[in-house]
């Protein structure tokens, strides 16, 4: 018989592999449907465990992830320029969506010399790429991003952009 956990007690932790929106290590388009389907199945199985308050096997702590994350953060910041987002003024229409979907409130709109609204980035970027993936004009890039990249934007198909807005 399964061991059960009580409300308030941590009974397990869970992992779901989903497509990567990192731009550098983006998931290939053809792999995305299969990953989303597998992710749904995993989440349903996990939800059943949670519903039944089953104590699950603790997922192992991935030292590799931790190391990669600690190594990649400075590389991304200083080498790839993730924290130096740029806006192409020829593409940007000043709609302000980037400001709304930034979870760090790192973007605000200012009037430029042509009296057009344009996004300005602060220093609190967490490289989530929400602004870059959701800009309707594909106007946001960062210095390390290949100019040849096309069709790079990704949002989970069941997530509406309104759900990402912070106001
Ligand atoms: S979402 Fe894109 S088009 Fe809209 S203001 Fe931001 S950069 Fe410009
Ligand atoms: S990458 Fe994420 S945290 Fe950074 S400015 Fe864009 S939306 Fe905000």
135 in contact with ligand 1, CB cutoff 6 A: yes
102 in contact with ligand 1, CB cutoff 6 A: no
Mean pLDDT of the chain: 84
Query: Does any domain span residue 66?
Result: no
Q: Give pLDDT, residue 19.
A: 92
Distance 92 CA to ligand 1 centre (A): 5
CB 81, CB 35: distance < 8 Å: no
- Higher-pLDDT residue of 132 and 4 is 132
Average pLDDT over every residue of 54-62: 68
126 in contact with ligand 2, CB cutoff 6 A: yes
- Higher-pLDDT residue of 75 and 58 is 75
Report the alpha-carbon distance of residue 158 to residue 150 in Å, rounded. Answer: 22
Report the alpha-carbon distance of residue 153 to residue 155 in Å, rounded. Answer: 7
Q: What is the total count of domains within the chain?
A: 2
106 in contact with ligand 2, CB cutoff 6 A: yes
Which residue segment(s) compose the domain that 102 sits in? Answer: 75-167
Q: Give pLDDT, residue 22.
A: 76
Based on the domain organization, do 93 and 25 belong to the same domain? Answer: no
CB 144, CB 82: distance < 8 Å: yes
Q: Is pLDDT of 1 > 60?
A: no
Domain of 140: which CATH number? 3.30.70.20
Based on the domain organization, do 151 and 90 belong to the same domain? Answer: yes
Based on the domain organization, do 79 and 159 belong to the same domain? Answer: yes
Query: Does any domain span residue 14?
Result: yes
Based on the domain organization, do 91 and 160 belong to the same domain? Answer: yes
Dihedral sign, CA of 13, 19, 21, 25?
Answer: positive
Q: Give pLDDT, residue 149.
A: 64
Based on the domain organization, do 46 and 93 belong to the same domain? Answer: no
Q: Give pLDDT, residue 137.
A: 95
Condensed to tens digits (0 to 9), the pLDDT of residues 111-148 reads 988 788 999 999 888 888 899 999 999 999 877 676 66
Based on the domain organization, do 30 and 106 belong to the same domain? Answer: no
Strand pairing category for 107-111 and 86-87: unpaired
Report the alpha-carbon distance of residue 153 to residue 32 in Å, rounded. Answer: 13
User: Mean pLDDT lowest for which of 13-22, 54-63, 79-88, 122-131?
Assistant: 54-63
Full-model pTM: 0.81
Based on the domain organization, do 55 and 79 belong to the same domain? Answer: no
Dmax (CA) of the chain? 70
Dihedral sign, CA of 111, 112, 118, 120?
Answer: negative
Average pLDDT over every residue of 86-111: 94
Distance 14 CA to ligand 2 centre (A): 26
Condensed to tens digits (0 to 9), the pLDDT of residues 28-55 reads 889 999 999 999 999 999 899 888 888 8
Query: Does any domain span residue 69?
Result: no
Q: Give pLDDT, residue 3.
A: 66
26 CB-near residues (< 8 Å, 6+ apart): 19, 20, 152, 154
Q: Which ligand is nearest to the CA of 123?
A: 2
């Amino acid at each position: 018989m399964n061991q059960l956990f009580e409300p308030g007690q941590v009974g397990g932790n869970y992992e779901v592999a989903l497509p990567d929106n990192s731009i550098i290590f983006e998931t290939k388009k053809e792999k995305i449907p299969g990953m989303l389907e597998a992710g749904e199945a995993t989440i349903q199985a996990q939800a059943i465990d949670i519903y039944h308050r089953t104590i699950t096997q603790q997922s192992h702590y991935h030292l590799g992830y931790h190391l990669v994350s600690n190594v990649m953060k400075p590389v991304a910041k200083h080498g790839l320029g993730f924290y130096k987002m740029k806006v192409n003024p020829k593409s940007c229409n000043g709609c302000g969506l980037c400001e709304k979907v930034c979870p760090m409130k790192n973007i605000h709109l200012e009037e430029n010399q042509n009296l057009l609204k344009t996004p300005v980035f602060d220093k609190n970027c967490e490289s989530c790429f929400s602004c870059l993936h959701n800009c309707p004009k594909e106007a946001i890039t960062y210095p390390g991003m290949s100019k040849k990249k096309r069709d790079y934007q990704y949002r989970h198909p069941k997530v509406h952009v309104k759900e990402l807005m912070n106001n």
